[in-house]
Amino acid sequence: MPMDWIWGLVGGLMIGSAAALFLLVSGRIMGASGLLGGLVDGSGRANWAERLAFIAGLVAVPALLAGGRAETHLNLTSNIAVVIAAGLLVGFGTRLANGCTSGHGVCGISRLSLRGIVATICYLLAGALSVLLFRHGLGWI
Amino acid sequence: MRLVIAFLAGGLFGAGLLISGMTDTRKVQGWLDIFGDWDPTLAFVLGGAILPMALAWRIANTRTASLLQSPLPAPPEPVIDRNLVLGSGLFGAGWGLSGLCPGPAMASLSFGGWQGLTFFLAMVAAMMITPRVRNFWTGGREAPI
């Protein structure tokens, strides 16, 4: 749709504002994989309630906004092997690299962190190659 | 207060992911499909997100603590190690395969059906074992590339 880029920009500004709020008020990096990962592997035990509150907002607000709107779709494949393999890769990869699109991408690039920039180049390249291989090569997705 | 701010930040993040199209895996895969029918929307999402955050870092650099008196995160050591590159590569492969990264995987839990829930559970399972695997192959140290 021709209006998509405006929604992308507005949504992006909201994502960045959320990260700015979390940094300036709470002193925290808004990284989705780190906040969740620290909760499930025990490394974030010291501030588990703050992590849980963040995740509660992250799940609840889209649920309210999307509630009853039939046009909201995740459109994830129903191939269960692909779903599980992708989930394992994303979970393992982001924790190994200590960050994902929000931590390395949004929070890292905006402070010109070398690690954030290198990580973003790596996952963008790997993502493009993955779509090339699995969509155009193997036709799985 | 900390919990309220965390909930609000998570909620605003989730609303932004939903509105921008990041919770539609077809759109995300369209952005990664640079050799096919490329969809540039996500460049606007990332650009839009970096703007307020760049401003926030400028403000943070002039302060010694956050508003709630927490220390502000110090810049990471500019060390590029094997874990960063390998981990980001594996993450990217899974991102392309599914169109989901961790934030949208959580934001879409309410409407993502069994597919979204299965992805989330697999992601959490992998996150739980990662520290053990990482320590096993680096002996607890960061490995230079």
B51-98: pLDDT as tens digits? 999 999 999 999 999 999 999 998 888 889 999 999 999 999 999 999
Looking at residues B104-125, what average pLDDT do you find? 97
Which pLDDT belongs to residue B77? Answer: 85
Q: Which residues of chain B does A15 touch, with a Cβ-Cβ cutoff of 8 Å?
A: 12-13, 16-17, 20, 45, 48-49
Q: Is residue B144 part of a domain?
A: no
Torsion of CA B73, B89, A38, B110, to 10 degrees: 110
In the predicted structure, residue B144 carries a pLDDT above the cut 60? no
Q: Which chain A residue has the Cα nearest residue B90?
A: A93
**Are B95 and B32 contacting, i.e. CB atoms less than 8 angstroms apart?**
yes
**Are A24 and B56 contacting, i.e. CB atoms less than 8 angstroms apart?**
yes
Q: Is residue B73 part of a domain?
A: yes
- b/e map B98-114, b = 16+ CB within 10 Å: bbbbbbbbbbbbbbbee
Looking at residues B121-130, what average pLDDT do you find? 97
Q: Is residue B143 part of a domain?
A: no
How many helices and strands (H and E) does chain B possess? 6, 0
Q: How far is B77 from chain A (nearest CA, A)?
A: 8
Q: Is residue B41 part of a domain?
A: yes
Looking at residues B123-127, what average pLDDT do you find? 98
What one-character DSSP code corresponds to residue B71? B
Which pLDDT belongs to residue A141? Answer: 81
Question: How many C-beta atoms surround the C-beta of residue A44 within 10 A?
Answer: 17
Tens of pLDDT, residues B13-64: 999 999 999 999 999 999 999 988 899 999 999 999 999 999 999 999 999 9
Q: Which residues of chain B does A139 touch, with a Cβ-Cβ cutoff of 8 Å?
A: none
Q: Is residue B13 part of a domain?
A: yes
Contact across the interface for A10 and B57, Cβ inside 8 Å: no
In the predicted structure, residue B145 carries a pLDDT above the cut 50? no
What one-character DSSP code corresponds to residue A47? G
Q: Is residue B122 part of a domain?
A: yes
Which pLDDT belongs to residue B135? Answer: 79
Q: How far is B82 from chain A (nearest CA, A)?
A: 9
Q: How far apart are CA A76 and CA A74, in angstroms?
A: 5
Contact across the interface for B96 and A130, Cβ inside 8 Å: yes
Q: Is residue B15 part of a domain?
A: yes
What one-character DSSP code corresponds to residue B139? T
Sign of CA dihedral B95, B98, B102, B103: positive
Contact across the interface for B107 and A59, Cβ inside 8 Å: yes
- b/e map B1-32, b = 16+ CB within 10 Å: ebeebbbbbbbbbbbbbbbbbbbbbbbbbbbb
In the predicted structure, residue B138 carries a pLDDT above the cut 90? no
Residue of A13, A36, A122 with shortest CB distance to B106: A36
Q: How far is B62 from chain A (nearest CA, A)?
A: 11
Under-70 pLDDT residues of chain A: 1-2, 68-70
- Range of B80's domain? 2-138
Q: Which residues of chain A does B19 touch, with a Cβ-Cβ cutoff of 8 Å?
A: 7, 10-11, 14
Residue of A21, A59, A123 with shortest CB distance to B88: A123
| Angle, vertex CA A37, rays to CA B19 and CA A130, nearest 5 | 65
Domain total in chain B? 1
Q: Is residue B145 part of a domain?
A: no
